[in-house]
Structure 1
Amino acid sequence: MPLQIIFMPKQSIIWIDIINSPQVNFFKPFVKLWEDEGFRIIITTRDLSNTIDLLKQMGWKYKEIGGHAGKNPLLKLLNFPLRTILLRSYLKKIKPNVGISHSSFYSPLVCKLLNIPSIYLNDNEYAHGNYLAFKFSTKVLLPEFLEHKSKKLGWVKKYSIEFYPGIKEGIYLSQLEKLDSPKKGNKKVLNSIYIRLEPWSAQYYSGRRNFIDQLIKELGKKYFVIILPRSQEQIDYYKSMKGLQIQISEESMDFFQIFKDCDLFIGAGGSMTREFALLGKPAISIYQDELLEVDKFLINQKKMFYFRDLQLKDVKSIFDLKYKHNNTNLLSKGISAFKLIDKMVKQYAN
């Protein structure tokens, strides 16, 4: 019998650049699906907020490349080409088939330098790096509520943009198994309020800092308050408030752990406020900068509360509401958006 040579198909490689903590949860269901289907996943990251802690919790392999330049425009200008060069050098040896990112301005340019297709997602219309990312992306995916603004600003004519149904948070939350609510027998003495602080180092944020300090002290007299910091700087600053009913989480907490214990979520920016709102928890945005379109959408739909100057009486009134709402439609849209992204990645990867 003649010798038969069997050629195994080459394993497709998907590169994901995760540069901030919300992106870990976003890509969690995609990573599981793609690995189960035989794709090789390459994850690069940088040390910002609690991103690396969350990656470790996931048990993912990752390569830390470059750091965060803070809010200094000059340092940002110098840091961008440096990290881009480092990423290209690292990935040139690996030869990924496609790159995908949510809010990584580096990813589309690096993919262009590697001559591979890229998919770029973002839901923050105020991020200055979008213009660079849009220019070099093979495909840009934005949420449907940005379609009007994209047309108004001329993005649709200039760049290859598609719009996905629903909101970003619906994409990955739609893939969760049913979340367990606390057992009725375990009645709490005090309601738990989780507070996510404002993004001090973010380029897009120019709002107030430490504006919630007095409210935290007042809430701590009536409720159990858990502060969720974004950096060591915030941990150090808020340590002085720590007490019997005010705690500061010095390590990254598991999302499900927070969800099961949380009775009310207060967020000064970022994805977590929208995540809790989407999953039916009473969630208050206290964002101090120009509201994003996604936040306006949820507020107008009465799925999220908004107070620029939140008072103790406002918190009491929300607890008195016994707040409940149904987000089946947004989660259904999330399923459709998940399938759209999965299909697009596989088309470029194969």
Structure 2
Amino acid sequence: MTGGRTAHGAGGDGLRVWVDITNSPHVVIFRPLIERLRARGCEVVVTAREFAQTIGLLERFGIEHVSVGAHGGGSRRGKARAMAGRSAALARFARRERFDLAVAHGSTDQPLAARLAGTPQVTMFDYEFAAAMHHWNGRLATRVLVPSAISEAALAPYGIRPPKLVRYPGLKEEYYLADHAMDDGVLAELGLDPDRLVAVLRPPPEVTLYHRGASTDLFGRTLERLLAEPGVQVVVLPRTAEQRAALAGGAAIVPVRPVDGPSLVAAADLVVSAGGTMNREAAALGVPAYTPFAARLGAVDRRLIEEGRLRRLEHAGDVVLERRPRAAAPPLRDPEVLIDLILGATPATLPLS
């Protein structure tokens, strides 16, 4: 389905909603949701953290925002210091702005800041094994939204249970991509030949705690294999400045500025991502996707593998190099469902505790 206003229960007129965006994929996630919140009469204010291509993507899509803080790097101490400083700054901001509702996807800062400011907060995530984050955010959030593939039992150890816990069908990508206007010029923007095979790769999240200690050699071997294939155009979307520097001067195509990720995925023949969002976007759009994710696979990815919509990459040679048929994308879901769930967490319907 495509976007379009439908009749739903939760309102929004006059609510001041605070959206916190802390990572590049969250820009694409919230862009259509922000528009729909505003269509319901909400006033939406966006804060953002300097990390990866987050600020660049917000600027590309014309999303006004207030930049607050930066990523703390790879160490636990750095992360803790950055989180404490940013949470304190956000709490001051929220107290001053007096929001009715806060919402974020995987933000480690907003739940604490919202609690300190007395603002109901909605946390979204789709990977259940980020234990440190969930023990903290799950207890502070007013409502937690996750895909139904994640069981109640998996989140109970974090203190996340109904009615705080709300599980929705499908993938979040199937909701926000329904509103995404695909950019047909994305291949030309990167100097790619539309008649040759396009492989899009996303490196491991090397500064993510839940990924620490897991082997990332498989991604490197896969990249080398694809670069050695003369008929393959390889686009790599680095997460960090260090990854970008390591790719400089090589044969891979590395965009010099943030690109429209979903449009690139939709135009690609295959995706290899060591994270999650890009693989799930590919699955939602019917594009072959491979995960070399070396940490513990979450329930969402396990279900996609069972359904044949995602493939577990175990050897560099597992990637099938062939042009995919440009058939119509699979049906997507109504984004208003997520809007209803987000707006359900208002003072009139949910307690702060």
The TM tier, using the shorter chain, reads 0.7 to 0.9
- Which ranges of structure 2 fall in alignment gaps of 5 or more residues? 1-12, 187-191
* TM-score, length basis structure 2: 0.83
Greater relative contact order, per chain length (Cα 8 Å cut-off, separation 6+): 2
Distance 2:138 2:152 in 1: 17
Aligned length: 330
One-letter code aligned to 2:344: M
* TM-score, length basis structure 1: 0.84
Q: Cα offset for 1:135?
A: 1.0
Mapped pair 1:232 → 2:241 = yes
Matched-pair identity in %:
23
One-letter code aligned to 2:240: S
1:229-250 deviation per Cα after TM superposition (whole angstroms, max 9, x unaligned): 11111111011423xxx31223
1:235 partner SS? helix
Q: RMSD of aligned C-alpha atoms? A: 3.1
Q: Cα offset for 1:62?
A: 0.9
Distance 1:307 1:151 in 2: 27
Distance 1:238 1:73 in 2: 26
Contact 1:165 1:337 in 2 (8 A): no
1:88-127 deviation per Cα after TM superposition (whole angstroms, max 9, x unaligned): 1122221111111110122121111111211111111122
The residue number in structure 1 matching 2:138 is: 134
Mapped pair 1:340 → 2:343 = no
Contact 1:235 1:250 in 2 (8 A): no
Mapped pair 1:168 → 2:172 = yes
Q: Cα offset for 1:205?
A: 1.1
Taking structure 1 as reference, are residues 14 and 348 closer, same or farther at Cα in structure 2, changes over 3 Å only? Answer: farther
Contact 1:112 1:136 in 2 (8 A): yes
Taking structure 1 as reference, are residues 210 and 324 closer, same or farther at Cα in structure 2, changes over 3 Å only? Answer: farther
Contact 1:105 1:130 in 2 (8 A): no
The residue number in structure 2 matching 1:32 is: 35
Please give the residue correspondences for 1:82-121 in structure 2 after superposition, counting only pairs within 5 Å: 82-121=85-124
1:56-110 deviation per Cα after TM superposition (whole angstroms, max 9, x unaligned): 1121111111111112111222222211111111222211111111101221211
The residue number in structure 1 matching 2:81 is: 78
Structure with greater Cα Rg: 1
The residue number in structure 1 matching 2:314 is: 308
Please give the residue correspondences for 1:127-276 in structure 2 after superposition, counting only pairs within 5 Å: 127=130, 128-150=132-154, 153=157, 155-157=159-161, 160-176=164-180, 188-206=194-212, 207-209=214-216, 211-220=218-227, 221-222=229-230, 223-242=232-251, 246-276=252-282
1:203-237 deviation per Cα after TM superposition (whole angstroms, max 9, x unaligned): 22122345433432332233111111111111110
Distance 1:114 1:303 in 2: 42
2:138 partner SS? helix
Contact 1:44 1:63 in 2 (8 A): yes
Distance 1:320 1:192 in 2: 8
Tell me which protein shows more helix as a share of its residues.
Answer: 1
Taking structure 1 as reference, are residues 140 and 187 closer, same or farther at Cα in structure 2, changes over 3 Å only? Answer: closer
